[in-house]
Amino acid sequence: MSNLKHILYTAVHENEELFNFIQDSAINGFWLVELAAPEKIYLNPKLYCTLGFSFESIKSDSISPLDILNAKEFDKVLNTFKSKDFASQLKISYKHHSDNSIEFNCNAIAIKNLDAEITHVLVGHMDCSSGSKKILDYQEHVQRYEHIIEGTNIGTWEWNIQSGETIFNENWAKILGYTLEELQPISEKTWEELAHPEDHQTSIELLDNHFKGNTDYFKIESRFKHKNGNWIWVKDSGKVVSWTPDGKPEWMTGSHYDITEQKEHGILLERYQDLLERSNETASIGYWEVDLDKNEVFWSKVTKKIHEVPEDYELLFDEAVNFFPLGKHRDVILNSFKEAVENGKNYDIELEIITANGKLKWVRAIGISDFKNGKCNRIYGLFQDIHIRKEAERINRERQTLLETILDTIDVGIISCDREGNLSLFNKATIDWHGIPIETIGKKESTDYYELYKIDGETPLSIEELPLLQAMYTGEVTDGEFIIKPKVGENRRIVAKGSQLVGEDGNVFGAVVSMQDITIIKKTEEQLRISEAAFRGNFENAAIGMAILNERCDWLEVNDQLSAILGYSKKELLQLSIFQVTHKDDLTADITLMKEFINGEKSVLNKESRFLHKDGHVVYVILSVSVVKNDDGKPLYFISQITDITPRKIAAQKLQETLAKLEAILDSSTHVSIIGTDVDGNITTFNKGAENLLGYSKEEMVDNQTPALVHLRSEIIARGKELSKELKEPVEKFEVFTAMAKRGLHDTREWTYVRKDGVQFPVQLTITPVRDNKEIIGYLGVAAEISELKNVEKEIKSLLDVTKDQNERLKNFAHIVSHNLRSHSGNFAMLLELFLQDYPDAQENEIMDMLKLASENLKETIAHLNEVVLINTSLDENLHPINLNSSVKHSIKNIAGIANDAEVKIINNVDPQLKILGLPAYLDSIILNFLTNGIKYRSEERESFVKLDAVKEGNYVILSIEDNGLGIDLKKHREKLFGMYKTFHKNKDSRGIGLFITKNQIESLGGKIEIESEVDKGTTFKIYFKYEEN
């Protein structure tokens, strides 16, 4: 169709007539048709509009001419055009949108081509017939209403109350999000279903009211359910438009108007208002208004409350100013008010008011002036009770002051910087430490005053290592310790901590670093370390035992020495408590002492105690304990030192014992005088015994006298002479007593003491030196009275003398007797012999034989007696060493003859080296006796021998003489064996005295004799001789 349009435009453009035609004729629209192709027809929108079509449908090209033109009509029209009789005026009927037929008076004009042929026809519509006009008008009205409804988005409803028939328009459905189509079938029910139950209920009631005629209109704002599930608000109003003949409402029409938004706004508004009111109240914001024309003041509820006046208070204009206290505040408000009124300068000030109750309050006063015609007629504004805020501000300021004061008083350096690294806070301590003047300085200048170094004191800190920057970029200070070396002032060792300052937005706006001067601490630490090291060294290496105990007396630490003292290993010792190693006798005392410590009654302990060594023996110690307390005064540790004084103690004990014994001796020896002197002879000790014996008192003698007082001068001199001779140097006076002692020689001898009363008595005096570490510091003379002894001695001596005498006499007697008897018996024998020589015949005489025998016997007896006598008087001292073998040999030689005759073999196995102690005569006699016995008592039945052996046994030499002779029945004769004149054999030579004498001889030599024998087998004699050590 656009083609046609184009043609039309071109034509119009070319032909002014056409243009005019349209103007005049096409009031109500036109159409253009191409005669050649009548389907090509263009209708202008106006026509459609006039015919009641909606703009949309026109635009969408959804209508065709056939909608408005019936075909017949169209053809008729076309034909007129095609005919030669071109009618320029005609009447055409169209179909109105509402299906009514509208007739128009139309004009037509032909468009010719170059050939002057009619190609197209333009038909313009001027007016319509009256009937149609009416219809048009009506339609227009209807359209207008429809447009109104459309424009206002009103949903309409028609309801037949009696039948229930319900008619909704599209809008009604649209309001609820539906199409009308979707809601089909529509009925009362539809309304009910879609309506909010509550509102529906109210609606019914209102409808009822309306039906009764109480209201002109049914009006309700109710909710309906939108298709999407939400509730929407609808203004529902309607009216009954027709009644039934019997007066009942028939049709009711009404409208739905979507007021959701308004409603919601309304509700919101309500809420806001409520909120505003409430917040106003909470914020204590009160409204005020001053009408300058009427000179009236309005205060809101809250304003009144702020001013502490009752709600019904009516403020007068002049009074208002009284609520401001005289002075600064009143001046301010008056000034501000004036400015606002005169110059329109609005104010927003904080000042104090004085309430009706006389209370001062801080308020914020806002004043806005309202001008009309250049003059201020009204001022209004707000009052806000900012008392609390003001208070808070004051507190804040105070806090601020506090903070600042703290920062400047504390000994911790605080510095902070902003995000550019510029220093923003430098508290007093920091200033002092860095040696900078008290002005805030920038980063660059700071280095003029100080340098920062690492803890070695040499390496300066790099930029990255600066604590503040570190804190800012990393959130913490990693190298916490550094050294500040100010240009002026002393170096300080600092430990720093820092952190970022983070704003509410989460961004870093700076950093803060706190620094502590640990110079002193470090020094102290070092000192402590040294001290601790010293202590440790001392502790470990002490020559005495040391231990640290806790308040319960458990060992915490022990040193090696203590371990050595007590014999436990360090580990073992740590398991024990001090009480476990304490001697049970000291346990109670020690526990009491420890309690006193813990109570704080004692702070130092020093006592001797006994501990038990691991192996059980007692260790004497000196126990020193001191207590280390904590700040509350409670004991933290005990430090004890344990010195082993066992040797000392034992020595002391021994000394004590010795002293006690000495005392005892000194005092108990009442009969023994103990006189002690110094090196010069002055008496220093004089015991009870001395007092008793000598009759002097201690006081008289000590430090007053020398022992010379109690001696005989003559004796002293005599002894002196003796000693001089012996020692080959002059000895006299006190030296006499000390000479031997000094030389370490034994000096015990008899002296005479002289008692005080002059009586002399003998004593045995022993003098010994008293030494102290090898040096003689005095002498001790112990004298025992020996008068008794002396008497006894004398007695013994005299007895001895007597005995000796007796012995001598006896010996003499013996000798004399034996000698004389011998003489006579000898004579007798001799005479007998002579007689026999003279008278040989007499030999046969029996009596002669008897005489001879008698004489012999006599001789022999005397000889024996002699021997016996001799034995008993011999003395030990005459023994001298004799070679045994030689004696044996000698004796053997003596009896060699007899032995030969008897055919007895003598075997000598005696060791030629052996020597014995004895008397030669005796020895010879003994050996001889046994030899002769051995020969004498040989057995005839065998080859006889006598064997001699010697063996050393202990202190003796045992000479064994063995024969194989007749033997002796020891069972019978042992007792009598060595008796005098006891014989055991029938042998006529047995005299019975030999063994007796021999035994005596042996015994007198200090030996003994043993015998073993078996009858008819032999005899062994064992003779013990004293052994001579070469």
- Residues that bind other proteins in the complex, under the rule CB under 8 A: 815, 818-827, 829-831, 833-834, 837, 859, 863, 866, 870, 921
To which H or E segment does residue 264 belong? helix 260-282
The CA radius of gyration of the chain, in Å to the nearest whole number, is: 83
- Which candidate, 1023, 732, 731, 723, places its Cα nearest to that of 891? 1023
Strand partners, 625: 605, 640
Which C-beta is closer to other proteins: that of 60 or that of 837? 837
Residues 895 and 862: beta-carbon distance below 8 Å: no
The number of beta carbons lying within 10 Å of the beta carbon of residue 300 is: 18
Give the nearest distance from C-beta 773 to other proteins in angstroms: 59
Give the nearest distance from C-beta 831 to other proteins in angstroms: 6
Distance CA 416, CA 716 (A): 109
Give the nearest distance from C-beta 989 to other proteins in angstroms: 20
Give the nearest distance from C-beta 830 to other proteins in angstroms: 4
Angle at 187 between CA 184 and CA 189, to 5 degrees: 110
DSSP string, 820-841: HHHHHHHHHHHHHHHHHHH-GG
Which C-beta is closer to other proteins: that of 374 or that of 897? 897
CA distances from residue 977 to 161, 591, 965, 973 in whole angstroms, order as listed: 184, 82, 16, 6
Which C-beta is closer to other proteins: that of 508 or that of 829? 829
Give the nearest distance from C-beta 897 to other proteins in angstroms: 14
Give the nearest distance from C-beta 824 to other proteins in angstroms: 8
Residues 415 and 427: beta-carbon distance below 8 Å: yes
Distance CA 633, CA 887 (A): 101
The number of beta carbons lying within 10 Å of the beta carbon of residue 439 is: 8
Which C-beta is closer to other proteins: that of 645 or that of 829? 829
Which C-beta is closer to other proteins: that of 712 or that of 810? 810
Q: Are strands 545-550 and 635-644 parallel, antiparallel or unpaired?
A: antiparallel
Give the nearest distance from C-beta 864 to other proteins in angstroms: 11
Which C-beta is closer to other proteins: that of 196 or that of 815? 815
Give the nearest distance from C-beta 1003 to other proteins in angstroms: 18
Residues 515 and 433: beta-carbon distance below 8 Å: yes
Distance CA 738, CA 719 (A): 12
Which C-beta is closer to other proteins: that of 313 or that of 839? 839
Residue for token pair 């001292």: 877
Residues 321 and 298: beta-carbon distance below 8 Å: no
Residue for token pair 């300068």: 345
Give the nearest distance from C-beta 861 to other proteins in angstroms: 14
Give the nearest distance from C-beta 866 to other proteins in angstroms: 5
Give the nearest distance from C-beta 867 to other proteins in angstroms: 8
Give the nearest distance from C-beta 809 to other proteins in angstroms: 14
Give the nearest distance from C-beta 935 to other proteins in angstroms: 22
Residues 559 and 542: beta-carbon distance below 8 Å: yes
Residues 782 and 672: beta-carbon distance below 8 Å: yes
Q: Amino acid identity, residue 908? A: N
Which C-beta is closer to other proteins: that of 538 or that of 843? 843
Which C-beta is closer to other proteins: that of 275 or that of 898? 898
Which C-beta is closer to other proteins: that of 263 or that of 852? 852
Give the nearest distance from C-beta 828 to other proteins in angstroms: 8
Residue for token pair 């020495």: 561
Cis previous bond, 310, omega within 30: no
Distance CA 22, CA 125 (A): 9
Burial status of residue 278 (CB atoms within 10 A of its CB: 0-12, 13-18, 19 or more)? exposed
- Which candidate, 316, 336, 320, places its Cα nearest to that of 328? 336
For the record, the structure tokens of 280 come out as: 């106003």
To which H or E segment does residue 848 belong? helix 846-872
Burial status of residue 239 (CB atoms within 10 A of its CB: 0-12, 13-18, 19 or more)? middle
Quote the DSSP letter at residue 25: H
Report CA 825 to chain centroid distance, whole Å: 122
Give the nearest distance from C-beta 876 to other proteins in angstroms: 16
Which C-beta is closer to other proteins: that of 40 or that of 859? 859
Residues whose CB falls within 8 Å of the CB of residue 659, separated by 6 or more in sequence, listed in order: none
* Residues in the chain, overall count: 1030
Which C-beta is closer to other proteins: that of 590 or that of 867? 867
Which C-beta is closer to other proteins: that of 729 or that of 805? 805
Which C-beta is closer to other proteins: that of 697 or that of 873? 873
Which C-beta is closer to other proteins: that of 643 or that of 855? 855
Residue for token pair 């006076």: 733
- Which candidate, 679, 648, 910, places its Cα nearest to that of 778? 679
